[in-house]
Amino acid sequence: MRRRFWILVLALAGSQVLLRAQSNSGNGSRDAHKIEATVQARDGAAGADWPSFGGTDLAWRYSALDQINTTNVNKMVPAWMFQSGDEQGPLQSTPIVVNGVVYLSTNRVHVFAIDGATGRLIWQYIYEPSPGGRLSSNRGVAVAGGKVLVGTGDDFLIALDQTTGKEVWKVAVDDASVGGSISSAPLVVKDKVIVGDGGESPHRAYLTAFDIKTGRMLWRFYTVPGPGEKGHETWAGDSWKYGGAYPWMTGSYDPELNLVYWGTGNPDPIFYGGQRQGIDLYSCSIIALDADTGKLRWYYQEIPHDTWDYDSAWECVLLDRQVNGRTRKLLVHFGKAGYVWVLDRETGELLNVHPYSEVPANWVTGITDKGELVGRNDSPMEGEPRKLICPASSGPKDLEQTAYSPRTGLIYSPTKEYCAYFTQRPPVPGAANDHGGGTYVYTAPPGHDSAYSHIDALDPVTGKRQWTYPYKYNLLASMLATAGDLVLTGDSEGDFFALDAHTGKKLWSFQTGAGHRGSAVTYLAGGRQYIATPTGWGSVTASIMAGLWPEAVSWRTGSTLVVFALPEQPR
């Protein structure tokens, strides 16, 4: 029966349904190519394609397509599926779609070009890592200038021909002995490809820009200042040499200001702060760089001298909203510490900070309107009584992304609720890569029998909650919002589902066969709107769930792109 079902489903692909893609203001429909050409240029809405990691470089994860909407999403069916064949963990990638072609990468850097209407493989590229090179995760590619650009876990940046998948150039981002890696999608800004350094091995991290045509390095910004650089004094002794501050997710870009925005990770060692006394710039910060030169325009540090692993590496959502009666250019950032920071993206000025988790954070007693931490509750040293600190080190939200809808004015966030018992210790002398400097044990929050999660619809500036959708396990997939007034995501048990963006009512779901850890997208191919979700359960954050819910050990892994559409209309 299942085989006959999928044969029938695949036969539904490729219909020509009339597009009703509205603008942000909802003033009628317009041609798909016009959407692509004008809507993206004016704001953060993706149009016929999904051309970049966040939909557009403003990171809204919102599409102006509305062929699939609240009135018909319950009719949505699978159109095609693509199995990557890579069994190295879950499919965490964000698919990129350009001219109806889907570009997808896997953890072992297998890159595919797939026909977006049929699922037909156009070409594939399989990366051969350097001797001893380690590949553990990959979250996507960038497509621009006739090239598909992908980073690798052994710290290479590769440009592939967009038409054939053949290597055009390949550059080593750094000496492999440094321990850096590239796990997230590059950001293309004009003629530059910008990648962030990850890996969390003790070293001084950086952002690097390369020429998209040749692969030549154009600039590099170190997220830990060296001798003679402003902020170097915030690191004690030689701790700056191993300070981390890894900008390992994908940044955002404002073309009007010509500024690149990136979140940075935790300082190193992760929990133990004794050997890095000071505020440890530019760790746990948002940095704004001149796109042409890589020079620092401004920074805002959310967590000075972090001892909880509350890194700030997540997406920077760029939008314009009124604050106190004045329209401001905003940067909205959901941090692992359970707070949302709202900044003026021209200057870095803090405009508001508000909590977004239901369980009250107790790592501080509060944050002032100037961003100052009040009543720090640092983790104790080993041998001392352990402390229950909320939120846990994986935060209410980490790499799973929010979505912003200009139609509702709300931002949609997947939020986890659990705490941890923390301790810290000095690194063991001589131990290779001993940079943890502590331990943590996850547990349910006070007053609850179990950890849990929820999706929230929030005012991004004030934090006022419009609605909440509860879930009994972790939600680790990104949100997708559309002009059809839908919010879509997947859960740990394998269900992909749609909510009403205004009310949070569940409108549709489909069991995909594996848990969700990636980022769904939507696009147009042959006049038909498709919604594609990566599936496959796993990752470091997912691995902790068996300690919170024993049944999680049986949840299904995989590496499959599942693509949905409305049924084909009669001709």
Split at pLDDT 50, 70, 90, the class of 19 is very low
**Active-site residue, selected from the candidate residues 49, 66, 306, 309:** 309
**Residue-wise DSSP of 112-134:** EEEETTT--EEEEEE--PPTT--
> Which run of H or E residues covers position 9?
helix 2-11
- Of the two residues 426 and 450, the one the predictor is more confident about is 450
- For residue 39, the model assigns a pLDDT of 34
Residue 571 counted as domain residue: no
State the Cα–Cα distance between residues 517 and 167, nearest whole angstrom: 29
Confidence of residue 15 (pLDDT cuts 50, 70, 90): very low
Residue 452 three-state SS? strand
Q: State CA 12 to chain mean position distance.
A: 32
Q: What is the pLDDT of residues 303-358, one digit of tens each?
A: 999 999 999 999 999 999 999 999 999 999 999 999 999 999 999 999 999 999 99
Q: Which of 170-184, 285-299, 421-435 has the highest mean pLDDT?
A: 285-299
Name which of 492, 527, 497 is nearest 509 in CA terms.
497
Q: How confident is the model at residue 43 (pLDDT cuts 50, 70, 90)?
A: confident
Please, are residues 18 and 24 in contact by the beta-carbon 8 Å criterion?
no
Domain, as residue range, for 276: 9-565
- For the cut 90, the answer to whether the pLDDT of residue 494 exceeds it is yes
The whole-number average pLDDT for the span 437-449 is 90
Mean pLDDT, the chain, rounded, equals: 90
Q: Which of 10-19, 224-233, 292-301, 501-510 has the lowest mean pLDDT?
A: 10-19
d(C-alpha 529, C-alpha 81), whole Å:
15
* 18: pLDDT strictly greater than 50: no
- Looking at the domain assignment, is residue 2 inside a domain? no
Kind and range of the H or E run holding 540 = helix 540-543
Tell me how far CA of residue 14 lies from CA of 10, 76, 118, 318, in angstroms: 9, 14, 6, 35
Split into its structural domains, the chain has a count of: 1
In which residue are the tokens 């150039």 written? 169
Once rounded to an integer, what is the mean pLDDT over residues 396-409?
Answer: 96
At residue 27, the pLDDT reads 33
- For 409-427, write each residue's pLDDT tens digit: 999 999 999 999 988 888 7
Greater confidence, 386 or 136? Answer: 386
Confidence band for 570, pLDDT divided at 50, 70 and 90:
low
And the tokens for 146? 């006739």
**Residue 250 predicted with pLDDT over 80:** yes
DSSP code of residue 39 = I
Residue 557: inside a domain: yes
Residue 416 lies in a domain: yes
Distance CA 75, CA 72 (A): 6
309 occurs within a structural domain: yes
Is residue 178 domain-resident?
yes
The encoded tokens of residue 449 equal 């029998």
Question: Does some domain include residue 3?
Answer: no
Q: Is the pLDDT of residue 176 over 90?
A: no
Predicted local confidence at residue 211, as pLDDT: 98
- The reply to whether 382 falls in a domain is yes
* Active site (annotated) includes residue 115: no
Q: pLDDT for 348-393, tens place per residue? A: 999 999 999 999 999 999 999 999 999 999 988 988 888 999 999 9
User: pLDDT digit string (tens) for 526-551?
Assistant: 999 999 999 998 767 777 788 899 88
- Domain of residue 287, CATH code: 2.140.10.10
